Amino acid sequence: MQQITEEQVQNILDMELVLPVIKEAYEDCVEGKIYAGNRIFMPIRGEKNVGQWLVANCTNKPYFGSKFSSVFPGNSKKGLPSTISKISLYSTETGELQALIDANYLTANKTSGSAAIATDLMARKDANKLGIIGSGLQAFSQVLAIQEIRPIEELHVYDINPGRIESFIERIEKIKNRPYKIIAAKTADECVSSSDIICTCTTSHTPVFKGSSVKPGTHINAIGSFTSFMQEIDTETVLKSDKVITEHVEGLWEAAGDILIPFEQGKITKDKVSGTVGEVLTGKITKRENEQEITLYESVGSGVLDIALSIAVYHELVEDVK
């Protein structure tokens, strides 16, 4: 059994590896070669702290696996990550544990790689102004991924804690792939109204910007909300969205407060959700159809993508050992 550390994962994963693995996993999922089981999420001593379990099984590779994530928003005050994840990868032949993987960095890359593919499919081809709300590992990873699929000219950054914005910008300056301008937004709404592509990367339980700030033609990656009671994106934004896609439609209706809350209020029907990223990739549903559409990728987490990336990391490490 391999024990794989965060440092090893960071040495293996980059967007050159991540993006094709995620794309292939979506296509395999549509074809039934890999599928997700039911998720479990559990409030831990109150709604703000949550434990979540995701599982997936391959029919074309000898693996199945599970990921456990804990989200404790108060950890930032303790100098700890707010999200902590581990993945267990098992053999489908014997059921034995093949690898135990520290998965904070893997999860961030999985989520940002998926958002980048959704962005490439749904954002305008001329979209070049990226807005990031949040300044943690996930926000950093979103920039790494999306700068690979659009020629970014401006990056607008907002965080509820102004002190974190400066250090975030310093980190981005070191990894940006072209000389784009980085701007500290004074408010979340300013960040949104200045951008063609929006990524929300927070653990907020309440909307982080007003839907009235969203311009026609914008693409939004809603990353933070993954339980029924979290609403990072307001109802107005959902109502304004012409297309809503996700990783797994069933998972969305179990866990995406951004969508569940307006649904339970009777403001949308289930028809509001167009389908999955995999269905767009394989042509089963349409991409953006005009320059005025507002498109929304609602991410709720995918065991399929976690396990696909885990297999890639495991294989890279095993080959290195050989």
Tell whether 30 and 178 lie within a shared domain. no
Instruction: Give the total number of structural domains in the chain.
Output: 2
Tell whether 235 and 280 lie within a shared domain. yes
pLDDT of residue 11 exceeding 60, the answer is yes
pLDDT (mean) for 259-263: 96
Could you read off the pLDDT of 27-60 as tens digits, one per residue? Answer: 999 999 999 998 898 889 877 898 999 999 999 9
3-state secondary structure of 60: coil
Residue 320's pLDDT band, with cuts at 50, 70 and 90, is low
Tell whether 88 and 162 lie within a shared domain. no
Residue 321's pLDDT band, with cuts at 50, 70 and 90, is very low
Tell whether 239 and 308 lie within a shared domain. no
pLDDT (mean) for 216-245: 93
Where residue 276 sits, what CATH number does that domain have? 3.40.50.720
Where residue 59 sits, what CATH number does that domain have? 3.30.1780.10
Residue 310's pLDDT band, with cuts at 50, 70 and 90, is very high
- Integer Cα distance of 248 and 117 in angstroms: 15
Could you read off the pLDDT of 151-182 as tens digits, one per residue? Answer: 999 999 999 999 899 999 999 999 999 999 99
Report the mean per-residue pLDDT for the chain. 94
Tell whether 276 and 261 lie within a shared domain. yes
pLDDT of residue 322 exceeding 50, the answer is no
Tell whether 156 and 43 lie within a shared domain. no
pLDDT (mean) for 60-71: 95
What's the distance, CA 160 to chain centroid? 20
Asked whether 314 and 99 are in contact (CB, 8 A), the reply is yes
Asked whether 22 and 113 are in contact (CB, 8 A), the reply is yes
Tell whether 173 and 308 lie within a shared domain. no
pLDDT (mean) for 200-210: 93
Tell whether 65 and 95 lie within a shared domain. yes
Q: What is the pTM of this model?
A: 0.91
Tell whether 125 and 31 lie within a shared domain. no
Tell whether 190 and 283 lie within a shared domain. yes
Torsion, Cα 304 132 272 252, to 10 degrees, reads 30
pLDDT of residue 86 exceeding 70, the answer is yes
What is the model's pLDDT at position 257?
Answer: 92
Q: What percent of the chain has pLDDT over 90?
A: 83
Unique residue bearing structure tokens 């592509």: 197
**Rounded-to-5 percentages of helix, strand, coil across the chain:** 40, 25, 35
Residue-by-residue DSSP string for 86-154: EEEEEETTT--EEEEEE-HHHHHHHHHHHHHHHHHHHS-TT--EEEEE--SHHHHHHHHHHTTTS--SE
Give the residue numbers spanning the domain of 145. 115-301
pLDDT of residue 319 exceeding 80, the answer is no
pLDDT of residue 189 exceeding 90, the answer is yes
Tell whether 75 and 60 lie within a shared domain. yes
Tell whether 154 and 240 lie within a shared domain. yes
